[in-house]
Amino acid sequence: MKSPTFALALHGGAGLEPAKLSAAQKEEYHASLRQALEIGWKLLAHGAAALDAVEQTVRALEDDPLYNAGRGSVFNSDGRHELDASIMDGASGLGGGVAGVLTVKNPISLARLVMAETPHVLLIGEGAERFADEMCDREQIARVPNDYFSTERRRREWQEALEKSRRASRGEPDRETVGCVALDAQGNLAAGTSTGGTTNKKFGRVGDTPILGAGTYAANETCAVSSTGTGEYFIRQSAAFHVSALMAYRGLSVDEAVKHVVEKLLPADVGGIIALDRQGRISMCFNTAGMPRASADASGNIVTGLERP
C-alpha cells in the first residue's frame, strides 16, 4: 500500500538581511521556523485537512514577534497597526480575506471565517472588526488592544522611517510577512498569508496579502501559493495566480513557474514566493537578500533556510 503524500512549506517574509544577524539571531529564526512547521506537519501526519494545517501554522507565526504579522506587526503612519490576511482552499476554490483589522489577535482565523461564514471574499477595516464582533463566540477569534501588536523593534523601525519620510514620502518595504502552503493526505491544497503591511504605510493602505490571486492562491489542479514582499508589485502582476496559470496553460513545473514570476515578472529586490504542487513538490524563490523559510514532506524531513541557496 502506497504511503500517503503530504507536505508543508512556510515563509517568514522576504525582508530579512541575514548578513546583519548574529549566529544567535540566526538560530532564533531557525528554531522559530521549525516550531511553526512542526505544528502544521503533525496535523497533516494525523490526517488533518490542508486548510487546518495552514491556519494553525500561520497562527503560530502571527504569535511570534519575530515576524511582521500579528504580534510584531509594523507601525503605520498614524502609529497604529493595521493587519491583513487571507486563506484559500484548493479543493473548493473558496477563500477569504481581511484587511486593516485593528484588534484581532490572529487575522488568519478571521479570514477563514469570512470564507466559511459569509458569501464574501474580502472584508476591510470597520466592517471586518464588526464581523469579528459577530464571531465573538468562536474560540479562535481572540481580541486584543491595538498596542498588543507593538514591539520595541518595530517602534524603532517606525521612528527611523519617520525620519526618512521627512526627506522622502515612500514607506519601507514589507518585512517578515508570513505564509504557509500545504498538501494533505487526501490530495487537497491550501494556502494562507498574513502581514502587518509596510512600516510607516499610509493609513488604509492594503497590499497583496489579503487579495486572492496576488498574495495567496490555491487550486488542487495546480498548486498552492503564498507571496511576500512589496505588495503593490504582486498585485499588479496577480503574482500568486500567475504561478498557477503558468502551470495550467503552459505546462510549467511548480519550480519553473515560481522562478519565472520572481525572476522575470517582478523587479529585483522586491520579494519572494513559496508554492507547492499536488505531488508535494515545493518551490521557494526570492530576489531579496534573505527569506526565512522551512519545508517538510511526509517523511518528516525538515529543511530551514534564511540566505540564498
85-125 per-position pLDDT tens digit: 999 999 999 999 999 999 999 999 999 999 999 999 999 99
Domain count for the chain: 1
Q: Can you give the residue range of the structural domain that contains 39? A: 7-222
Q: Give the separation between CA 85 and CA 220, rounded to whole angstroms.
A: 21
Do residues 118 and 95 touch, judged by C-beta distance below 8 A?
A: no
Q: Catalytic pick from 57, 177, 195, 199?
A: 177
pLDDT of residue 171: 46
* Residue 1 confidence (pLDDT): 43
Which residue matches cell numbers 520572481?
262
Of 70-84, 120-134, 154-168, the one with minimum mean pLDDT is 154-168
Quote the pLDDT of residue 161.
81
Report if residue 145 sits inside a domain.
yes
- What would the pLDDT profile of 265-302 be if each residue is shown by its tens digit? 999 999 999 999 999 999 999 999 999 999 999 888 89
What cell does 76 get? Answer: 503605520
Say if 293 falls within a structural domain. Answer: no
Assess whether 118 carries a catalytic annotation.
no
User: Residue 84 falls within a domain, yes or no?
Assistant: yes
**Torsion 16-17-22-23 (CA) sign:** positive
pLDDT at 167 over 90: no
Please check whether residue 80 is in contact with residue 94, taking contact to mean a CB–CB distance below 8 angstroms: no
Say if 77 falls within a structural domain: yes
Q: Average per-residue pLDDT in the chain?
A: 93
pLDDT at 169: 45
How do 83-89 and 95-101 pair as beta strands?
antiparallel
pLDDT, residue 4, reads: 64
Q: What would the pLDDT profile of 188-224 be if each residue is shown by its tens digit?
A: 999 999 999 988 888 899 999 999 999 999 999 999 9
Question: What pLDDT does 162 receive?
Answer: 81
CA angle (105, 86, 305) in 5-degree steps? 85
CB 188, CB 91: distance < 8 Å: yes
pLDDT bucket at 180, cuts 50 / 70 / 90: very high
The whole-number pLDDT of residue 146 equals 94
The percent of residues above 90 in pLDDT, for the chain, comes to: 85
